Amino acid sequence: MAKTTSKAKLGDRLGERIDRGLRMKDAPDAPAVRAYLHLYYSSALIFKKVDQHLARWGLSVARYAILRALQRWSPISLSALSESHLCVAGNMTALIGKLARDGLVRRVTDPKDRRVVLISVTAKGSRLIEAAVVPHRRFVAEMMSQLDLTQLDTLTQMLDDVAREAAGLDPLADEFSRAALPRPARGGRAARVRALAAAAE
């Protein structure tokens, strides 16, 4: 019963934040803004909870995602890893530095191109991530248990569509148009980014 009450109060607080953030309720773009705010505040809460869960292994959402990706893609260049959107691009170098300091990843110069830094997971990093992956996936499954398989598939597709649309917008343009930048294709670089992100599951 306490769990239900807590969820209700949380939903009320989230709704209040969204109502405060949405001032122009009668504007044509109100449904889009409301959906965005739901996504923003919900994702912030979800990431906080997942960070708290992963902390028992000394990990965070970003550290976990990077190590999981490196398990499948090692060695990979730092620039390619930065393009994966596993974390904010500006934080990638700092995160890799901390992971290297902790002995979880190693950095080496690409023998074919000395300008390129290659990142790979260490044996210590692999052992740590293997210890965390099963309980982490169970935690995520419990968190998403309100949705059935059809809803999960629909949510995944909808978020993918929104992400692809966002990737095709020029944030510095005076008029935000789908034509501002070429919309990412399903192949090529966009496909590589999705593959890297999938590796972090």
DSSP 37-90: HHHHHHHHHHHHHHHHHHGGGT--HHHHHHHHHHHHH-SEEHHHHHTTTSS-HH
pLDDT at 53 over 60: yes
From the CB of residue 6, how many other CB atoms can be counted at a distance below 10 Å?
A: 10
Cα–Cα distance measured from residue 157 to residue 163, given in angstroms and rounded to the nearest whole number: 10
pLDDT tens-digit profile of 118-173? Answer: 899 999 999 999 999 999 999 999 999 999 999 999 999 998 898 888 877 777 76
Cα–Cα distance measured from residue 198 to residue 22, given in angstroms and rounded to the nearest whole number: 33
Calculated CA dihedral for residues 93, 97, 103, 105, nearest 10 degrees = 20
pLDDT tens-digit profile of 77-104? Answer: 888 887 766 665 557 888 899 999 999 9
Domains contained in the chain, number: 2
Average pLDDT over residues 70-80: 84
* 63 lies in the same domain as 36: no
* 18 lies in the same domain as 6: yes
pLDDT tens-digit profile of 11-32? Answer: 555 555 555 555 555 666 678 8
* 126 lies in the same domain as 53: no
Q: What is the CA radius of gyration of the chain?
A: 20
* 73 lies in the same domain as 127: yes
* 29 lies in the same domain as 63: no
* 165 lies in the same domain as 97: yes
pLDDT of residue 130: 94
Q: Higher pLDDT residue, 52 or 8?
A: 52
Average pLDDT over residues 42-69: 92
pLDDT of residue 83: 74
* 37 lies in the same domain as 112: no
Instruction: Supply the range of the domain harboring residue 43.
Output: 1-57
* 65 lies in the same domain as 155: yes
Confidence category of residue 54, pLDDT binned at 50, 70, 90: very high
Domain boundary among the residues 57, 79, 102 is at 57
**Sheet order of strands, 105-110 included:** 76-77, 113-121, 105-110
